[in-house]
Amino acid sequence: MKKLVYLYFPIIIFIILRIVFVTDFWKNLEHKATDMSFRLRGAREVSDNIVIVEIGDDTFNTLNERWPFPREYHARLIENLEKAGAKQIIFDIEFTERTDPIQDEILAKTCNEYDNIILSGKLIKTIYDGSIREQFLTPIPLLIQKDVKWGMVNISADKDGFVRRYELFQKRNKQIKLSIGLVSLSSLYDIKDLNKEIKDHPAYFKLGGDYIPKVTSKSSLINFYGPAGTFKTYDFAEVIDDSTFTTAFEKELESDLNQYYDIAEEFKGKIVLIGLTSVEFHDTHHTPFFSTLMPGVEIHANFIEMAFRHDYLTEFSFIKFLIIFFLAIIVLFFINSNIKPTISIIINLMLLIGYLYLAYMLFCTQNRFIPILEVPASIIIIYIIGLVFQYIKTVKERKFIKQAFGQYIAPELVDELIKDPKKLEYGGEQKELTVLYCDIVAFTPYAESHSPKETVDILREYLTEMVEVITCNKGTLDKFVGDEIVALFGAPVNLEDHAYWGCKAALEMRQRLNELKEKWETERKDPFEIGIGLNSGVMTVGNLGSEQIFDYTAIGDNMNTGARIESLTRDYKTKNNIIISKYTYDLSKENTIADFIDEVQVKGKKIKLKIYELIEIKKKAPDISQ
């Protein structure tokens, strides 16, 4: 039953921790930890396949135009990029509203001349009469009348406002519209029929022969390559500034810079994304590299770069992690509940550091995320629980030891047991001890000649005094067998000179009885006599009871011999009525005085046993208690 504690406690801990780990607060912490992985890994070099044309603060200063720009500017941008040999032109700019018809026609004509243009749209949600309505905002029909490609530019952030996922598509009713990133890929993979070439699975999105792992039903993790500005970026005004166009800045200088010709080679064979980067347009976002806000166009660039390199991020199998996590809790609980805190803290610290290193290396080498904080937090929590568990267990052990031994052994021995409760674990060990048997002579006739109350009263007084003598001499009261007292010296706590302490206790018991007899005579009570026998040797000692009943005792041939020796006090007349074995005498003779009595055959022994009469402790016996 006690072993089940190491199962049902971990189950309870597991359930509680899992509840904590699904809260928004914890998810936010976990997100911050994954962000730290990006920053520790640092920015990585990107390929030369993708460049960005930005419309930022410098663009507005150079052109001296208000937004939105005349659409002929975008048409000019397309023309110049096509002349430069751009592989693909992707607009992260929404042309979803009509402007000047002439301007719209210019842009439409240009877009319809080329097959490598990708425009953008968006899924918007509005609340009407308490219900949420969804609508696709598409480029104006004029721009896409000749099958010009377009995709969605929706960017979603986690609850803490950070972008970590890329929306692969948007779904309205049963209609699916791909993001500009996937439209770009489908065009590069030369996929003609999207209905046949795309498959939306719960764990991944299949586009042609490419399998894109999903982290939600419609998004994938973004393997960011660095902070904002990682990709080569050119100003919109520079690209349209050719010999046929004069910017406001050139008018001020009264000089034609024609910057396009200086950078035209940079677009050859490249995927070019065009987007707004100025903060005022609210298309900048927090990312794991949160040193600067990243414009939405660069988030699309990160995804396309990741897809080209098949450098996708994946998450460790949730089921496998739960199994490993549960087994780890069982092991951690067992370790922290049984190993000394000074040792377990080292083990826990090594496990914590090792796990963090493993999580980081999985991210760096295999692009795989495993929950970073859950295991370290569990290690710390279980360590604390283990300390509490050990404290409670220690308090219970101390209480049990005091209850079990407090009245039977000396207080200092109880303290030693409290320091090392393992000495009381179930099972026996071979140990050299001294056993003392003390029995009232002719107690049966005594009891028959006195009333039960008289017998019980005098017996209680006698036993109380004898037990006090035993405990004061570092002995352990083993048991009462009727009127007989059995005591051990040298267990459960090791005791040097156990034979000496046993002999000393026997003589003091004799002296205490003499004092009681004088007292009883004054009280007109009938006294009685006792016999004491001692034997030393190797015995099996320990908790030899059942799982239900604790019974610390000793067994073995030398225990039985001690009882036989005590019975010899009826046959031999001695000064103190105390007989000891030769082995007890040999162990204590430096500090005791004893005379040889006889060599006797006792029951159960084939070899005769030498016995001695214990007379007294030597006057100059050393203070062995120190």
Q: Would you say 470 and 508 are in contact if contact means Cβ atoms under 8 Å apart?
A: no
CA distances from 425 to 487, 545, 547 (A): 20, 11, 11
CB 553: neighbour CB atoms within 10 A?
Answer: 19
Per-residue confidence (pLDDT) for residue 307, from 0 to 100:
95
- Mean pLDDT for 537-549 is 73
Indicate the helix (H) or strand (E) that contains 579: strand 578-581
Q: Kindly state the tokens that stand for 469.
A: 């003598």
Alpha-carbon gap, residue 586 to 596, rounded angstroms: 12
Q: Would you say 155 and 163 are in contact if contact means Cβ atoms under 8 Å apart?
A: yes
For 152-176, the DSSP string reads E------TTSB--EEE-EEEETTEE
Alpha-carbon gap, residue 424 to 551, rounded angstroms: 10
Alpha-carbon gap, residue 107 to 113, rounded angstroms: 10
CA distances from 446 to 18, 452, 486 (A): 71, 11, 21
CB 47: neighbour CB atoms within 10 A?
Answer: 12
Alpha-carbon gap, residue 328 to 375, rounded angstroms: 9
- Partners of 582 in the β-ladder: none
Q: Would you say 580 and 533 are in contact if contact means Cβ atoms under 8 Å apart?
A: yes
DSSP category for residue 243: T
- Partners of 178 in the β-ladder: 169
Q: CB pairs under 8 A, 24+ apart, for 356-365? A: 359/37, 360/37, 360/40, 362/316, 363/34, 363/37, 363/41, 364/37, 364/41
| Mean per-residue pLDDT over the chain, rounded | 89
Q: Kindly state the tokens that stand for 375.
A: 């295991």
- Mean pLDDT for 411-438 is 69
Q: What is the pLDDT of residues 268-325, one digit of tens each?
A: 999 999 999 998 899 999 999 987 899 999 999 999 999 999 999 999 999 999 999 9
Q: Would you say 599 and 607 are in contact if contact means Cβ atoms under 8 Å apart?
A: no
Per-residue confidence (pLDDT) for residue 109, from 0 to 100:
95
Peptide bond into 68 cis (omega under 30): yes
Alpha-carbon gap, residue 623 to 615, rounded angstroms: 19
Q: Given a cut of 90, is residue 576 above it in pLDDT?
A: yes
- Mean pLDDT for 199-217 is 91
Q: What is the pLDDT of residues 58-116, one digit of tens each?
A: 999 999 999 999 999 999 999 999 999 999 999 999 999 999 999 999 999 999 999 99
- Mean pLDDT for 514-535 is 94
Per-residue confidence (pLDDT) for residue 252, from 0 to 100:
87
Q: Kindly state the tokens that stand for 47.
A: 């390929």
pLDDT category at 6 given cuts 50, 70, 90 is confident
Q: Given a cut of 60, is residue 16 above it in pLDDT?
A: yes
Say how far residue 38 (Cα) sits from the centre of its chain.
23
Q: Would you say 242 and 59 are in contact if contact means Cβ atoms under 8 Å apart?
A: no
Phi-psi region of 190 (alpha: psi -120 to 50; beta: other; left: phi over 0): left
Q: Would you say 30 and 215 are in contact if contact means Cβ atoms under 8 Å apart?
A: no
Q: What is the pLDDT of residues 158-172, one digit of tens each?
A: 999 999 999 999 988
Supply the pTM of this predicted model.
0.69
Does 217 or 191 have the greater pLDDT score? 217
Q: What is the pLDDT of residues 118-174, one digit of tens each?
A: 999 999 988 777 777 889 999 999 999 888 999 999 999 999 999 999 999 998 888
Per-residue confidence (pLDDT) for residue 418, from 0 to 100:
55
Alpha-carbon gap, residue 86 to 519, rounded angstroms: 120
Q: Would you say 73 and 240 are in contact if contact means Cβ atoms under 8 Å apart?
A: yes
User: Comparing C-alpha atoms, which of 464, 469, 483 is closest to residue 410?
Assistant: 469
Alpha-carbon gap, residue 535 to 304, rounded angstroms: 90
**CATH 3.30.70.1230 domain position(s) in the chain:** 419-617
pLDDT category at 395 given cuts 50, 70, 90 is confident
Q: Given a cut of 80, is residue 263 above it in pLDDT?
A: yes
User: Comparing C-alpha atoms, which of 442, 397, 433 is closest to residue 415?
Assistant: 397
3-state helix, strand, coil in the chain (%, to 5): 45, 25, 30
Q: Kindly state the tokens that stand for 111.
A: 């877009």
CATH topology classification for 419-617: Alpha-Beta Plaits (3.30.70)
pLDDT category at 622 given cuts 50, 70, 90 is low
Per-residue confidence (pLDDT) for residue 626, from 0 to 100:
42
Per-residue confidence (pLDDT) for residue 424, from 0 to 100:
54
pLDDT category at 546 given cuts 50, 70, 90 is low
- Mean pLDDT for 406-432 is 59
Contacts of residue 438, defined as CB under 8 A and 6 or more positions apart, other chains included, come to 466, 484, 485, 487, 506, 509, 530, 531, 532, 566
Say how far residue 28 (Cα) sits from the centre of its chain.
18
User: Comparing C-alpha atoms, which of 514, 545, 542, 524 is closest to residue 428?
Assistant: 542
Alpha-carbon gap, residue 218 to 200, rounded angstroms: 9
User: Comparing C-alpha atoms, which of 434, 424, 413 is closest to residue 498?
Assistant: 434
Q: What is the pLDDT of residues 437-490, one digit of tens each?
A: 999 998 989 989 999 999 999 999 999 999 999 989 999 888 888 889 999 999
DSSP category for residue 483: T
